[in-house]
Amino acid sequence: MNADKKIIRIATDVLVIGGGTAGVAAANEVAGKGYKVVLTSKEDKVAQETKNGVIADMVAKAEANADIEIMKNTVVAKVMGVPGDFAVTLKTGDKAVERKFGAIVVATGLTTKVLNDAYGLELGPKVISQSQLEALLAQGKLESGKTVAFLVGFGQDGNPLVMERVLDSLTALGKVAETDAYVFVGDIKLAADGLDQLYAQARQEGVIYFKTTDAPKVSVDGDAMCISILDPVLRQQVEVAPDLIVVEEAILADEDNAALAEPLQIEADKNGFLQPDNVHYFPVKSTRLGIFVAGAARDLLSVEQGIQDAGNVALEVKKFLGDGNLEVPSNTAFVDVDKCTVCLTCYRCCPHGAIFWDSRAIIAEAACQGCGICASECPNDAIQLGDYADEAMAKAIQDGQGTSGKSPWIVAFCCKNSGLEAVNMAKTFGYRVPAGLQAIEVPCAGKIDMDYVMDAFVQGADGVMLLTCHNGNCKSDKGALYASWRAAEIKKMLASVGLPEDRLVCASLANNMGRKFSEISVEMERSIKKASS
Partner 1 sequence: MIVAEKKPFDEISGMLAGFDKVLTVGCKTCVAVCLAGGEKEAVLLNKELMLARKVAGKPIETGAALVERQCDMEFLAELDDIVGQYDAIVSMACGAGVQFMAERYPEKPVFPGVNTTFIGVNRDVGWYEEKCRSCGNCLLGVTGGICPITMCAKSLMNGPCGGTNQTSCEINKDQPCAWYAIYKRLAGQNRLDNILKITEIMDWRNNVPRTIVQPGYEQRKAAFSEK
Q: Can you give the binding site for partner 1, defined by CB under 8 A?
A: 78, 268, 270, 342, 344, 347, 357, 359, 450, 481, 484-486, 488-489, 492
User: Closer CB to partner 1, residue 300 or residue 493?
Assistant: 493
DSSP of 87-147: EEEEEETTEEEEEEESEEEE---EEEEE-GGGGT---SSSEEEHHHHHHHHHTT-PPSS-E
User: Which of residues 86 and 347 has its CB atom nearest to partner 1 in the complex?
Assistant: 347
Q: How far is the CB of 493 from partner 1 (least distance, A)?
A: 9
Identity of the residue, 334 or 356, whose beta carbon is nearer to partner 1 in the bound complex: 356
- Comparing CB distances to partner 1, the nearer of 35 and 347 is 347
Enumerate residues 6+ apart whose C-beta is below 8 A from 371: 351, 352, 443, 444, 446, 447, 475, 476, 479
DSSP sequence for 147-182:
EEEEEESSSS---HHHHHHHHHHHHHHTTSTT-EEE
User: CB 450 → partner 1: shortest distance, Å?
Assistant: 8
Considering the complex, what minimum distance in angstroms separates the CB of residue 375 from partner 1? 16
CB of 379 to partner 1, least distance (A): 10
Between the alpha carbon of residue 440 and those of residues 377, 395, 427, 501, the distances in Å are 19, 11, 15, 21
Closer residue to partner 1 (CB): 89 or 308:
89
- Say how far apart CA 533 and CA 531 lie, in whole Å: 6
Least distance (Å) between residue 261 CB and partner 1: 10
- Closest by CA position to 102, among listed 289, 302, 361: 289
Is the Cβ of residue 298 or residue 486 nearer to partner 1 in the bound state? 486
CB 489, min distance to partner 1, A: 4
Provide, rounded to whole angstroms, the least separation between the CB of residue 78 and partner 1. 8
What contacts 24+ positions apart, CB below 8 Å, involve 292-295?
A: 292/103, 292/104, 292/105, 292/106, 292/316, 292/317, 293/105, 293/106, 293/107, 293/266, 294/22, 294/23, 294/25, 294/26, 294/105, 294/106, 294/107, 295/20, 295/21, 295/22, 295/23, 295/26, 295/107, 295/109
The CB-of-273 to partner 1 minimum distance in angstroms stands at 13
Task: Name, in order, each residue with C-beta under 8 angstroms of 91's C-beta and a sequence gap of 6 or more.
Answer: 74, 75, 76, 77
Specify the 3-state DSSP secondary structure of 397.
helix
- Residue 13 near residue 101 (C-beta atoms within 8 A): yes
Nearest distance, CB of residue 481 and partner 1, angstroms: 7
Of the pair 470, 516, the CB lying nearest partner 1 is at 470
Map residue 305 onto helix, strand or coil. helix
37/27 Cα distance (integer angstroms): 6
| Minimum gap (Å) between residue 523 Cβ and partner 1 | 25
Of residues 410 and 444, the one with the C-beta less far from partner 1: 444
Q: 69 vs 451, which CB is nearer to partner 1?
A: 451
- Helix 54-64 and helix 303-321: axis angle, to 10°? 30
Compute the least distance from the CB of residue 342 to partner 1, in Å. Answer: 6
217 beta partners: 228
* Cα 304 from Cα 58, distance rounded (Å): 13
Question: Which lies closer to partner 1 via its Cβ, residue 282 or residue 485?
Answer: 485
Residue 272 or 311 having the CB closest to partner 1: 272
- Residues in CB range of 95: below 8 A, 6 or more apart: none
User: Cβ 508 to partner 1, closest distance in Å?
Assistant: 15
Are 514 and 527 in contact by the 8 Å Cβ rule? The answer is: no
Nearer to partner 1, 141 or 492 (CB): 492
Minimum CB separation of residue 249 from partner 1 in Å reads 25
Residue 422 to residue 404: CA distance in whole angstroms: 20
Cα–Cα–Cα angle for 387, 8, 480, nearest 5°?
A: 40
Residues linked to residue 370 through DSSP beta bridges, in sequence order? none
End-to-end CA distance of the chain: 39
- Nearer to partner 1 by C-beta: 165 or 491? 491
Total number of residues shown for the chain: 533
- Taking the least distance from each CB to partner 1, the nearer of 437 and 466 is 466
Sign of CA dihedral 522, 524, 528, 531: positive
Residue 475, helix vs strand vs coil: coil
Least distance from C-beta 344 to partner 1, angstroms?
6
